[in-house]
Amino acid sequence: MRLDRGCVVRAYIGDIETFPPEVPLLTLRKSQERGRADHGWLKSFHSFSFASYHDPQHMGFGNLRVINEDRIAPGTGFGTHGHRDMEIISYVLEGNLAHKDTLGNIKGIPPGDVQRMSAGTGVQHSEFNHAKDQVTHFLQIWIEPNVTGIPASYEQKTFPEADKRGRLRLVASPDGAEGSVLIHAHARVYAGLFGAGEGFRQALDPARKGYVHVARGQLEVNGKPLAAGDALMLQSEPEVILGAGKDAEVLVFDLAAD
């Protein structure tokens, strides 16, 4: 009997079974592999299927559903639109994002702030770049909630650069631990800044999934070099190991397995 290369073989008395290869524990996705959209006023990269970009191999990872890297031109923005039953995090890298919603919140989101919006039963909001000469560069992140039909809510907190320098700072969690914003999802989100000589190790539950997104700069993650826009998906890994940073800003997600 011919066995295909890569199959796992387990022998029994009078029988042989074959199994497909195991899923890779570390999967690298390069920035240029992401979906792209250019609307003139908005330039966006999609890590997972979103709007007109559809890739059945990248519909999300664990309960992480969306990471859009958006650049909004000066004086433009997203008009009023709705969401429901989704945990939405805005993480600004450059410029300022003006947020207005039907909960009565009117707030600017500068770099260093993390905004959480629990869409729940439904919320309408708009996002705008009021600057005349600066692009707003930010990450829009959606995480699937562990409860639905809850009242919509909003929260925003500042995380100083010093808290993220050379380490991972918890910025979002299901229990609001360490002053993080509270999300209604089985996920924890960390942010870190890493330069030369700075490294950090973060334990992971191997039964869960990890996702590392390099927002800018360069960083080595579990032995693999990543640049801005690159991501590393981790399965059955006991920790995230970060090092060899060069002006790096990184987000690390501790996620439900499915």
- CA-CA distance, 3 to 78, in Å (whole number)? 55
Residue 24: what pLDDT? Answer: 53
Both tokens of 224, joined, read: 């693999």
Query: What is the pTM assigned to this prediction?
Result: 0.89
Successive 10-residue mean pLDDT values, the chain, 258 residues: 34 40 77 97 98 95 98 96 96 96 91 96 94 97 97 96 98 98 98 97 96 98 98 96 98 94
65: β partners: none
Residue 14: what pLDDT? Answer: 42
Rg, C-alpha atoms of the chain: 20
**Residue 218 in contact with residue 242, Cβ under 8 Å?**
no
DSSP state letters, the chain: ----TT-EEEEETTEEEEEPPPPPSEEEE-GGGSEEEE-SSEEEEESS-BTTB--TT-S-BTTEEEEEEEEEPTTEEEEEEEE-S-EEEEEEEES-EEEEETTS-EEEE-TTEEEEEE-TT-EEEEEEE--SS--EEEEEEEE--SS-SPPPEEEEEE--HHHHBTSEEEEEETT-GGGPEE-SSSEEEEEEEE-TT--EEEE--TTSEEEEEEEEEEEEETTEEEETT-EEEEES-SEEEEEEEEEEEEEEEEE---
Note the pLDDT tens digit of each residue in 136-166. 999 999 999 999 999 999 999 999 999 999 9
- Give the CATH superfamily of 8-255: Jelly Rolls (2.60.120.10)
**Given the structure tokens 């073989």, which residue do they identify?**
9
Note the pLDDT tens digit of each residue in 35-60. 999 999 999 999 999 999 999 999 99
27: β partners: 233
**Residue 18 in contact with residue 7, Cβ under 8 Å?**
yes
User: Which of left, alpha, beta for 10 (phi over 0: left; psi -120 to 50: alpha)?
Assistant: beta
Note the pLDDT tens digit of each residue in 112-125. 999 999 999 999 99
- CA-CA distance, 152 to 236, in Å (whole number)? 34
